[in-house]
A and B are shown apart, each in its own frame.
Chain A
Amino acid sequence: MLRHLMALFILALAALPVSVTAQDVRLPENATPSAIDRASTGGAQNLADIERRQNGAEIDDGFRRNNLGGDAATVPSLGPLGGRSDPDLWRGIRYNELPVRVSTMNKTGRVLVQDNGMWWQQFREGPLATYGAWLLAGTLAVLLLFYLLRGRIRIEGGKVGRTVTRFKAIERFAHWMLAGSFILLALTGLATLFGRKVVIPLLGHEFNSTLLTGSKFIHNNVSWAFMIALVMVFVMWIWHNIPNKTDWVWVKQGGGFIGDKHPPAKKFNFGQKIVFWAVILLGFSVSLSGLSLLFPFEIQLFGHTFNIINDIGMAEAAGFGPLQGDLTPHAEMQYAQLWHAIIGFLMMAVILGHIYIGTLGMEGAFDAMGNGEVDERWAEQHHSLWLDEVKQDKRTPAE
């Protein structure tokens, strides 16, 4: 019985693999790693290889990639495995040098080894978390410095007491739905990224586990409110956010932040237009990568994008070699996660500035989204052209 089982196992192994789509760590075409003499180890890895790896240098992995064993005739003692030892077999799978056949029709099933995951994990825990945290801390520091230098921007001459409707209820509804969902997504996203590094040492594994379970629940479901509100805001406000020549005046006068001038502006000034387009473009991008993560392996964005970048020569123009367009489904997910987090950090930095100027930074600004009514003097000083239009409309009622 045991012999039959062994025979079956060996047959399965021999028939195994596989047109594997393991991560390709082949050297770029233009890379010229220095030749390493491996005579002392009989062609295997030696100290020079280890040192190059530790220094982050390119490694010619041909000695490993091409060491796939032999056929039964040349290595008769390994006949049952087709002349390959187990290490030969797995090496071939890792380097995508053996054909892998699996019963599943799904592409993900053919990925038996995917060592891009190590790079992804190191990047996620290293540069992504570090630079992301610094971006947020730096933004808060700049806002604090600005507040200390400039103080709160007051309404010159004080409020006049008459108000004008700045945003209708539906506009405020969409804004707050976008804002509320974004804050939840940002906090749960930060918890997901920093939970292991920050929360566990402070509050323990149990707390982090509960926090991340809740974060995942909120992140997956609240994202839909964010996407719906993003579309609402886009449709309602895009016409007010097309750049025009008054924006140049706003830029020349430093947006009123520098000096005492009040540059003219329509419904949205140039600063608000920057926030609008940042939210729309980054929001669209973060939604797309989020959908890719929400439905694993169904939406694959990066291999295709990398191929386009290669085709139009962007990668070479930027000084890189060609990007790898043939990605495993798992690498696609890893790139989607990194991109999602990078865009998320950028959005958080923009929104911190937006929250500051809408609350603490400027007197009377919050009313616009609070109850929709702003003081006329505030409107006169910050959106004079828009106020003129509103007054004009009041004087000429629709026929």
Chain B
Amino acid sequence: MKAMLAGFLGVAVIGVVAYFGLHEIGFSSAEVYSGENVRLD
């Protein structure tokens, strides 16, 4: 069962890395297709 738990842990770790990685590269539609001059935050 260790492999199963390790697999689930892998999902969580990759998910966290993906979250920071995606935001680092500015993946979202808002970041790619919008800017300060057309968006009020």
Residues of B within 8 A of A221 (CB): 14-16, 18-19, 22
Q: Say which one of A7-15, A151-159, A178-186 lies at the interface with B.
A: A178-186
Contact A220 B10 (CB under 8 A): no
CA distance A218 to B11 in the complex (A): 10
In the assembled complex, the CB of B25 is this many whole angstroms from the nearest CB of chain A, namely: 10
Contact A173 B6 (CB under 8 A): yes
In the assembled complex, the CB of A249 is this many whole angstroms from the nearest CB of chain B, namely: 32
CA distance A3 to B3 in the complex (A): 75
Contact A177 B10 (CB under 8 A): yes
In the assembled complex, the CB of B8 is this many whole angstroms from the nearest CB of chain A, namely: 5
Contact B3 A372 (CB under 8 A): yes
Contact B3 A173 (CB under 8 A): yes
CA distance A170 to B6 in the complex (A): 10
Residues of B within 8 A of A180 (CB): 7-8, 11
Interface of chain B, main secondary structure: helix
Whether A175 is near chain B, meaning CB under 8 Å from some CB there, is yes
Interface size class of B (residues with CB under 8 A): 20 to 34
Whether A108 is near chain B, meaning CB under 8 Å from some CB there, is yes
CA distance A221 to B21 in the complex (A): 10
Interface size class of A (residues with CB under 8 A): 20 to 34
CA distance A389 to B19 in the complex (A): 44
CA distance A221 to B4 in the complex (A): 20
Whether A172 is near chain B, meaning CB under 8 Å from some CB there, is yes
* Interface members, chain A 148-203 (any B CB < 8 Å): 169-170, 172-181, 184
Contact A224 B3 (CB under 8 A): no
Residue of B nearest to A217 (CB): B19
Residue of A nearest to B13 (CB): A225
CA distance A175 to B29 in the complex (A): 32
CA distance A179 to B27 in the complex (A): 26
Residue of B nearest to A333 (CB): B29
Residues of A within 8 A of B2 (CB): 169
Contact B33 A172 (CB under 8 A): no
In the assembled complex, the CB of B1 is this many whole angstroms from the nearest CB of chain A, namely: 6
CA distance A177 to B6 in the complex (A): 8
Residue of A nearest to B7 (CB): A176
Q: Which of A170, A220, A228 contacts B22 (CB 8 A)?
A: A220
Contact B7 A177 (CB under 8 A): yes
Whether A357 is near chain B, meaning CB under 8 Å from some CB there, is no
Most B C-beta atoms less than 10 A away, residue of A174, A181, A217, A228: A181
Contact A172 B27 (CB under 8 A): no
Contact B33 A177 (CB under 8 A): no
Residues of B within 8 A of A119 (CB): none
Contact A175 B27 (CB under 8 A): no
In the assembled complex, the CB of A90 is this many whole angstroms from the nearest CB of chain B, namely: 22
CA distance A371 to B34 in the complex (A): 50
Residues of B within 8 A of A (CB): 1-4, 6-8, 10-11, 14-19, 22, 27, 29, 32-33
- In the complex, besides A180-B8, A372-B3, 19 extra interface pairs with C-beta distance below 8 angstroms are A106-B33, A173-B10, A174-B7, A176-B7, A177-B8, A177-B10, A221-B14, A221-B16, A222-B11, A222-B14, A222-B18, A224-B14, A224-B17, A225-B14, A229-B7, A296-B29, A296-B32, A297-B29, A297-B33
Q: 14 A-B pairs, CB-CB below 8 angstroms?
A: A169-B2, A173-B6, A173-B10, A176-B3, A177-B11, A217-B19, A220-B19, A221-B15, A224-B14, A225-B10, A225-B18, A228-B14, A369-B4, A372-B3
Residues of A within 8 A of B (CB): 106, 108, 169-170, 172-181, 184, 217-218, 220-225, 228-229, 294-297, 369-372
